[in-house]
Amino acid sequence: MKIIMLGAPGAGKGTQAKMIAQRYGIPHVSTGDIFRANIKNGTKLGAEAKQYMDQGLLVPDELTVKILLDRVAQEDCAKGYVLDGFPRTIPQAQVLDEALEKQNEKIDYAVNVDVPDENIVKRMSGRRACLKCGATFHIEHIPPKQEGICDSCGSQLVLRDDDRQETVQNRLKVYHDQTQPLIDYYEKKGILKSVDGTVDMQDVFHAISNVLA
Ligand code: AP5
Ligand code: MG
Ligand code: ZN
């Protein structure tokens, strides 16, 4: 099964993608996590991506597409995957569709996690992320067992550099300009499934499980 997660920054794409990945036994592929891992490891790709990410801008398509296509060509993706944060532009979606068509494959579902802008800013300021394993928490809604420490791997949790309030506003603007048109794109293909992302994370997952069934 091949699934795409759509939604504004902070809508809960990552939270839900991890639960879907676990339920269906497929990898969770997040371009944001791949970039953050590269930044943490001091790679050239990381340095390049950081310039854009810290401003809330998209990393250029040329860079992003190559990384994603390399990742989904790996063996663990053979039975499917859940993409989180890709595609983010119409050209990215077109490149992905073309690559899949060549192998007689296609995306099965595009799941849109719908959360209004008002809720987003609150969520981001409370988010704490693990840059080692990609786990995310929220100081009020989803607190880690021990403050500031990742439940999964024991690393220190941080406020992401791009979760500062000014940057979140930019990310929202970029989302509306460049990513939201993908909702129409997948609607026209007949594979769009929208769920209310404002409810409790378990209830969001329940709604997603129902549309994937
Ligand atoms: P990326 O890492 O993809 O960030 P994003 O899309 O901005 O999304 P987030 O990860 O911030 O939010 P999310 O929807 O995953 O929410 P989460 O589950 O954490 O991208 C970062 C940057 O990388 C981009 O800005 C861009 O520069 C670059 N980039 C990445 N991909 C790219 C691409 N394809 N092309 C170009 N550039 C690219 O949840 C948010 C918070 O809310 C958490 O604290 C969580 O615990 C909490 N929460 C989740 N669900 C609920 C709920 N139901 N109720 C209450 N709280 C909840
Ligand atoms: Mg995420
Ligand atoms: Zn961790």
Res 122: pLDDT: 85
Res 166: pLDDT: 86
Q: Is 128 a catalytic residue?
A: no
Task: Report the alpha-carbon distance of residue 178 to residue 40 in Å, rounded.
Answer: 27
What is the Å distance from ligand 1's center to 13 Cα?
Answer: 6
What is the H or E stretch that residue 195 is in?
A: strand 192-196
Kindly state if the Cβ of 64 falls inside 6 Å of ligand 1: yes
pLDDT single digits (tens) 15-62: 999 999 999 999 999 999 999 999 999 999 999 999 999 999 999 999
Q: How far is CA 181 from CA 60, 71, 146, 192, in A?
A: 17, 25, 40, 12
Hey, which of 96, 130, 138, 174 would you mutate to test ligand 1's pocket, going by the most ligand atoms within 8 Å of its Cβ?
138
Res 72: pLDDT: 96
Lowest mean pLDDT across 6-10, 43-47, 118-122, 170-174 = 118-122
Q: How many CA atoms lie within 13 A of 158 on its CB side?
A: 14
Kindly state if the Cβ of 184 falls inside 6 Å of ligand 1: no
Res 213: pLDDT: 79
Contact predicate 27/79, CB 8 Å:
no
pLDDT single digits (tens) 96-117: 999 999 999 999 999 999 999 9
Does 65 have pLDDT greater than 90?
yes
**Ligand 3 ion: Cβ-proximal residues, 5 Å cutoff:** 130, 132-133, 135, 150, 152-153, 155
pTM for the model stands at: 0.93
Task: Report the alpha-carbon distance of residue 179 to residue 172 in Å, rounded.
Answer: 10
Residue 125, classified by CB atoms within 10 Å of its CB into exposed (0-12), middle (13-18) or buried (19+), is middle
Q: How high is the mean pLDDT of the chain? A: 95
Kindly state if the Cβ of 32 falls inside 6 Å of ligand 1: yes
Contact predicate 207/34, CB 8 Å:
no
Q: With cut-offs at 50, 70 and 90, classify the pLDDT of residue 76.
A: very high
Res 10: pLDDT: 93
What is the Å distance from ligand 2's center to 12 Cα?
Answer: 7
